[in-house]
Structure 1
Amino acid sequence: MARVTEIQMAIKRASPNRSSSPYAESTDKEQENVIANAVPERYRGTDQDRQDMIVQGKQQELRRNFKLLTMTGFASMVVCAWEGLLPLFNYVLLDGGTALMFWGFICVGITMAMVYLSVAEIASMSPTAAGQYHWVSEFGPPKCQRFLSYCTGWLCAIGWQTFLASVCFMVGTIIQGLIIVNNENYVFQSWHGTLLAIAVICFAIIFNTLLAGKLPLTEGVAVIVHICGLFCVIIPLWVMSPRGDSREVLLEFTNLGGWPTTGLSSMIGLTTPVSIWIGYDCSVHMAEEIHDASRNLPKSILSAVSLNCCLGFLMAMTLIFCVGDAEAVLAASDELNGYAFLQIFMNAVQNRHAVNAMTFLVIFGLTNCAISETATASRQIWSFARDNGLPFSGWLSHVYPGQNIPLRAVLVSLCVVTLLSLINIGSDVALNAINSLAGVSLLTSYLITIGCLIWRRLYGAPLPPRKWSLGRMGLPINIAAFCLLTPLWFFAFWPLALPVTAASMNWASTMFGGCIIVSIFFWFAKGRRVYTGPVVQMRREVQM
């Protein structure tokens, strides 16, 4: 407590700079009471955590019950690289083929490694649940930081909510595909997938409310299954599948999407490797629940990236050598709810019970992904509401004393996913359009954040102190990340095949434009009057 008092005295000495903060009217005694009573002592973190919260002008309302290993497990399960690659494998078979899966995984991996190195360094400077929109506010050009921060907050909020809906729907439809494998008389109905998706989000909500205190333990167990489960899936494929020719698999690119050139088709096919590299900012949105966040947060991001990179690469190599006739697999997958990996499993093991066991591990991983994404998505909208970025912010940002979880934000995530899942009853095209929005929204937030960091390095004040730094390589890595990520972002809007129809169209561009319009509308309707941006509350002068 002595360290907290020391920091508060520093705030008092810096009183001329406090006048612009909405917390300026709080007395030091009130701040001390908040720190003492809001969260139990054992969950308040280190002195550095307390200092970081005061520097950011925020109160500690959530429990810091994640350590380095459990947060690494959390981030690994949110992205779920090898499990997520399986249902997305169809896309790379259509555009680019097995050769693109190999070379694309490497190239995209290098690009996203640059991105997450940049994110890790920023996270060490400002470990906050707000994440990207906070960093844009803090590091962006003063004349436009408020508007850019507001739009980034909306993109992150929408991106994580739609990501959550996407994984719940994915689990539901994989279960439908597994039913088809076991029951040839099953009559496919869209509403079955909707009900299964709603069941998944309800299951995830239970872990994020009634069992919230056990979430770190859950993630620890899940990541063990995540690692061991991979080998339970790939070993049968290694042993029982025919091998593809190395030259054909690694060097022959394909163009089954009808594009004018194989090169263009391959750039569009990068959708699959990009998709399993998006989302490691999930750790950032849990920053206020991590013990010693400024040190452990960047380490957990990079540890999760490294772990999932290895696991994802093993699965990618297994699939491209065991897929067999890609066109035949794609044609057969139409009977299995569009999931080629189920046909690959069937071709390899020739046993429904074995396919059930292998697919169960995929479903288990993706269900745990939904649990972790629920936590991430709810913290994102909670933090944005805390900064008056969303409608009904006062209600949404409330945390009940003693619970130390953003319960209302969690329940809003339940409602959003349920409503989005209902769209599938009327049109799976509309739901796929919403799902495709998730990736481009988060990619855009990465671009804006790194762009603002580059601006700050070149034209702004010196960067704040941090526990984890890129050193002299910071600017080159930031610039490389921005330049390499831009074409990936551009091709994320393209449809997968020609001719383009309403069913095959990639509606991400339309949905993305709609989100920008919505955020601008709310900006002029209310945001420009009430949203000041997190930078206004910053107190860097007390950082020691």
Structure 2
Amino acid sequence: MSSDLAVDQVRVQSVISHSKVHLDHPVDHDEAVILALGYKQELKRDFSMFTTFAIAFSTLGLLPSVAGTLWYSMAYTGNAGITWVYLVAMGGILCVALSMAEIASAFPTSGGLYYATAMLAPPKYKAFLSWFVGWSNYLTQITGGPSVGYSTASMILALKEISDPNYEYQKWHCFLLATSITISSACIASLPVKWISIITSGTSTLNMVFLFITWVVFLGGNNRVEQGLPKFNSNSDAWKIVNMTEWPDGFAVLMSFMAAIWIMSGFDAPFHLAEESANAEVVTPNAIVLTAVLGGILGFAFQVGMSYTIVDVTAAMESEVGQPFVAFLFQVLDKKRVYALASFAIILSYIMDFSSMLAASRVLYSYSRDGCIPLSRFWCRVNPYTKTPVNAVWFNWFIGECLLCLLFGGVAINAVFSFGATGAFISFTVPTFLRITYARNTFKPGPWNLGKLSYVTGTIGCAFVLMMIPILNFPQFRGKDNTLDLMNWTCVVYWGAMFLVVVYWFAYGRTFFTGPKSNVEVIYADEEGSRDEKTEIDEVVKQ
């Protein structure tokens, strides 16, 4: 028996508000919400709270993320960058995460960031702002897979160089290894949701276990005493600023915030998995907050352990090993333990790679569904066997492979992969800014909300990101010391890419993109004619 679902009774802000959705089958609450937002339920909701958190925590990849961001923390302000500076930065980041969680509860859809932007923006600007946010987030996501794959391959080859004096590094070795890593990651991201749930349940455990083992080994098993040093550094040494930049101390501290932003830029993953999560209005925001809070606490504890055990910060940054974290391990551990712990980081980096590709595919799927991406009709297709957007996975892989080819262009690949933090946090913050300003009286909160605290966290989060936008573009050195290798390419790559996105909008995008659009059968009041049936939401939703 067919019936109609009144959108306004679901209490969501939607592109099809003041209408009804025609139903030809009974729906549960999650499907009623996504239908009310204007979309068909095409993906299977097999992700639980734990699975959603597991994927997000794997995307965060604390151990490889900390190891890879020492260039922005310890290399800028010494031990202070991984202790109190990180802690201060986490305050601003948690406010961003809390605000995002509230928005995710109100708009539990895979393209929630740009969908929310369209719903919360002034009508005159909603299409452009959602276009800008959508592309900023997608371009950030699409660089994640190849970036992490390249990082994983680089760590493997660095260990090879250390263990085999006869080995000579070649760029094509790194390219082929990174390619094999991303291909296998894309295969995992293409699997049915149930299989992904099983895999990620195990990988999240590995993340926790490997992080804890590494922390315990370099704290309890370090050989500092054998070197004639105390077991741990003094408090003053563990928390002090050692300014290694050519900027004043205060500015160097702000630049060190970049490390925390990079480490925490994966907590948005649950948002992109909302259409595959059961009870998404609650599970999605809970997973966002849990990932940000737990990631922040564990990241702080891990880095404090490093600050109390490192022997020489400058030597770790300038080591011939080429990786500060591995250099740190060599300062305090014997070779066998270094290889073991570095192997943990490599395994977790691989896990981080397929988790990143999983989230990126859902972003492409959702944006393509609204016609935001060229050839959208291909990328929004759901595979009938896996019930996942396989086309989107492999299109992202292809673009990532093209980016990996820049490996042969010297600094070019580092320029592309410097995109992440800026693009991510700008797309995170625009809907929050709109929620606390223009839409402060019209926003309809979901079941997970902060109440009056929304304005406090939103204001702090927006102020933090606004302050950091210019900081994220500054290099460590200036003048003649700022070489091509040391240049911060974010100012060129991110803003250059977004300039092209804006040009594309005015040249062509505005002729076809008007914001999120519905793909369900909609009945408006003036289209009802003689239809008398008015079905309340409680009558069409299976309890």
TM-score, normalised to structure 2, is 0.89
State the partner residue of 2:6.
10
User: What is aligned with 2:150?
Assistant: 169
Q: Which residue of 1 aligns with 2:252?
A: 265
For 1:128 and 1:27, locate their aligned partners in 2 and report how far apart those are by CA, in whole Å: 17
* 1:253 and 2:233 correspond: no
Which residue pairs with 1:291 in the alignment? 278
Name 1:407's counterpart in structure 2.
390
Equivalents in 2 of 1:13, 1:300: separation in Å? Answer: 26
Aligned to 1:32, which of 24, 36, 46? 24
Match of 1:105 among 64, 86, 102: 86
- For the residues of structure 1 that align with 2:21 and 2:487, how far apart are their CA atoms? 57
Contact 1:73–1:222 under 8 Å retained in 2:
yes
Structure 2 residue 436 is matched with structure 1 residue 454:
yes
Could you say which residue in structure 1 is the equivalent of 2:126? Answer: 145
Counterpart of 2:288 in structure 1 is 301
Seen in structure 2, the aligned counterparts of structure 1 residues 9 and 415 have a Cα distance that, compared at 3 Å, is closer
1:153-164 matches, within 5 Å, as: 153-164=134-145
Deviation at 1:306, TM superposition (A): 2.1
Q: Give a deviation string over 1:291-329, Cα, whole Å, max 9, x none.
A: 110011111111112222222112111111122111112
Q: Report the AA paired with residue 339 of structure 1.
A: Q
Distance of 1:99 and 1:367 partners within structure 2: 29
Matched, 1:314 2:294: no
Shift of 1:161: 0.6
- What is the aligned partner in structure 2 of residue 371 from structure 1? 354
Provide the C-alpha distance between the structure 2 equivalents of 1:532 and 1:287, rounded to a whole number of angstroms. 23
Q: Is the 8 A contact 1:138 1:535 kept in 2?
A: no
1:73 shift after superposition: 0.9
Change (3 A) 1:9 1:309: closer
Report the CA distance between 1:273 and its aligned residue.
1.7
Q: What do the CA deviations read for 1:488-516 (whole angstroms, capped 9, x no partner)?
A: 22211111223212221111111122222
Where has structure 1 moved over 3 Å in runs of 4 or more?
11-14, 210-213, 535-544
Task: Give the whole-Å Cα distance in 1 for the aligned partners of 2:184 and 2:9.
Answer: 49
Aligned runs of 1:76-155 on 2, under 5 Å?
Answer: 76-155=57-136
Distance of 2:216 and 2:395 partners within structure 1 = 41
One-letter amino acid of the structure 2 residue matched with residue 483 of structure 1: A
Counterparts of 1:457 and 1:477 in 2: how far apart (Å)?
A: 16
Amino acid at match of 1:513: W
- For residue 444 of structure 1, the aligned residue among 422, 426, 432 is 426
Letter in 2 for 1:511: V
Distance in 2, matches of 1:533 and 1:10, equals 22
Q: Contact 2:121–2:439 (CA<8 Å) still a contact in 1?
A: no
Segment drifting more, 197-206 vs 184-193? 184-193
Q: How does 1:354-369 map to 2 (within 5 A)?
A: 354-369=337-352
Unmatched tracts of structure 2, length 5 or more: 225-231, 526-535, 539-543
Query: Measured at CA, do residues 516 and 448 of structure 1 come closer, stay the same or move farther in structure 2, by a change above 3 Å?
Result: same
| 1:452-495 Cα distance to aligned partner (Å, 9 max, x none) | 1112444x52x224111101111121111111222222211111
| Whole-angstrom CA distance in 2 between matches of 1:497 and 1:82 | 27
AA of the residue aligned to 2:79: T
Report how far residue 116 of structure 1 moved. Answer: 0.7
Matched, 1:470 2:450: yes
Alignment match, 2:334 = 350
1:272-304 per-residue CA deviation (whole Å, 9 max, x = no partner) reads 122111121111011100011001111111111
The residue aligned with 1:340 is 324
1:255 is paired with a residue whose SS is coil
The one-letter code of the counterpart of 1:386 is: R
Query: How large is the Cα RMSD of the aligned pairs?
Result: 2.7
* Distance in 1 between residues matched to 2:445 and 2:92, nearest whole Å: 26
Q: Indicate how the Cα distance of structure 1 residues 9 and 492 shifts in structure 2: closer, same or farther if over 3 A, else same.
A: closer
Q: Within 2, Cα distance between the matches of 1:390 and 1:522?
A: 11
Structure 2: how far apart are the matches of 1:452 and 1:111? 18
In structure 2, C-alpha distance between the alignment counterparts of 1:104 and 1:441, rounded to whole Å: 22
1:432 match? 414
* Identity across matched positions, percent: 23
State the partner residue of 1:519.
501
Deviations along 1:385-431, one digit per CA (max 9) or x if unpaired, are: 1111111111221223343111110001110111111111221x111
Where 1:534 maps in the other structure, the secondary structure is coil
Task: Quote the Cα distance in structure 2 between the aligned partners of 1:441 and 1:227.
Answer: 28
Tell me, yes or no, if the aligned pair for 2:111 and 2:272 is still in contact at 8 Å.
Answer: yes
Question: Could you list the runs of 5+ residues in structure 1 that have no partner in the other structure?
Answer: 37-45
Q: Report how many aligned residue pairs link the two structures.
A: 514
**Residue in structure 2 matched with residue 47 of structure 1 by the alignment:** 28
User: Quick check: 393-402 or 532-541, which moved more?
Assistant: 532-541
The 1-side partners of 2:514 and 2:302 are apart by 46
Please tell me whether the aligned partners of residues 82 and 308 of structure 1 are also in contact (alpha carbons under 8 angstroms). no
Q: Say if 2:190 is the partner of 1:209.
A: yes
Is the partner of 1:270 in helix, strand or coil?
A: helix
Which residue of 2 is the match for residue 231 of structure 1? Answer: 212
